[in-house]
Amino acid sequence: MPVSGACPACGGPLRPWRVVPASDPALGPQSFSLERCPRCGTAVTAGPAPPGLHETGAYRPGAPRLHSAARPVLGLFDRQRLSLIRALVPPRARLLDVGAGRGRFVAAAQAAGYRAAGIEASERGVAAARPLGVQVERARIEEASRPPASLEAVTLWHVLEHLDDPGGALDRLAYWLAPGGVLLAGVPNLSSLQARLGGDRWYHLDVPRHRVHFTPAGISTLLRSHGFSVLS
């Protein structure tokens, strides 16, 4: 099979893998090609991303459907993330939540004693954060500015898979982190049983919004190649 590019996770060759339907009904009956790396198993969504993807569907302005009903579950997720951070960095640490969405985790981290702020690319998220009284700046990673070594912790929850250049984003975050600082990142797992069972209609493929579909081997290699030590 022809090689069509380099894996953004490990640099291995990318080869055509499968064609999957668009995840957002607003895009109509479109399909998108995925290319996969035989070295680490990571895949990418081929071609450029259509504009406006993060202002439609689940990302459209206004409160998401069933938001109130989901609040207890989302609160549980926040507490789990905080427990992971707290085990490595104590409260009062300077924390930045990248891709902060509606500011919910920033608010939870502040309540737990962290000096927390967030950055978020969508206006919907920034507007929703205001009633919570949390500081969420509208900016992408490449647009935001922080002094070098000014943070003890960065949380990056379901963000890296949206980026065409996740390595470049990690370099920027590493520049902001103080020596010994901690990065907590979450991405969908393309090697999971759920992904294998879901096949070309696995919910977390979310094409074409998701640009890179990581495996544990791929994300570990990416982090190490950009100066991070993988603890877990």
Helix/strand/coil for 203: helix
Report pLDDT for 26.
78
| Stretch 63-69: mean pLDDT | 57
pLDDT band at 2 (very low <50, low <70, confident <90, very high): very low
Percent of the chain scoring above 90 in pLDDT: 75
Q: Has residue 57 got a pLDDT over 60?
A: no
Q: How far apart are CA 89 and CA 27, in angstroms?
A: 42
Q: How far apart are CA 214 and CA 113, in angstroms?
A: 32
Task: Give residue-wise pLDDT tens across range 187-223.
Answer: 999 999 999 999 999 999 999 999 999 999 999 999 9
Residues in the chain, how many?
A: 232
Question: 164 with 188: CB under 8 angstroms?
Answer: no
Report pLDDT for 56.
59
Helix/strand/coil for 98: strand
Q: How far apart are CA 94 and CA 89, in angstroms?
A: 9
Task: Give residue-wise pLDDT tens across range 121-178.
Answer: 988 888 888 888 888 999 999 999 999 999 999 999 999 999 999 999 999 999 999 9
Task: Give this prediction's pTM.
Answer: 0.89
Report pLDDT for 1.
39
Report pLDDT for 64.
55
Question: 124 with 61: CB under 8 angstroms?
Answer: yes
SS3 per residue for 103-170: CHHHHHHHHCCCEEEEEECCHHHHHHHHHHCCCEEECCCCCCCCCCCCEEEEEEECCHHHCCCHHHHH
Report pLDDT for 130.
87
β-pairing verdict for 151-157 and 94-98 = parallel
Question: Which residues are CB-neighbours of 72 under 8 A, at least 6 positions away?
Answer: none
Report pLDDT for 180.
95
Q: How far apart are CA 127 and CA 103, in angstroms?
A: 9
Task: Give residue-wise pLDDT tens across range 67-102.
Answer: 566 677 777 889 999 999 999 999 999 999 999 999
β-pairing verdict for 43-45 and 31-36 = antiparallel
Q: Has residue 3 got a pLDDT over 50?
A: no
Report pLDDT for 157.
94
Two tokens, residue 23 = 């995840």
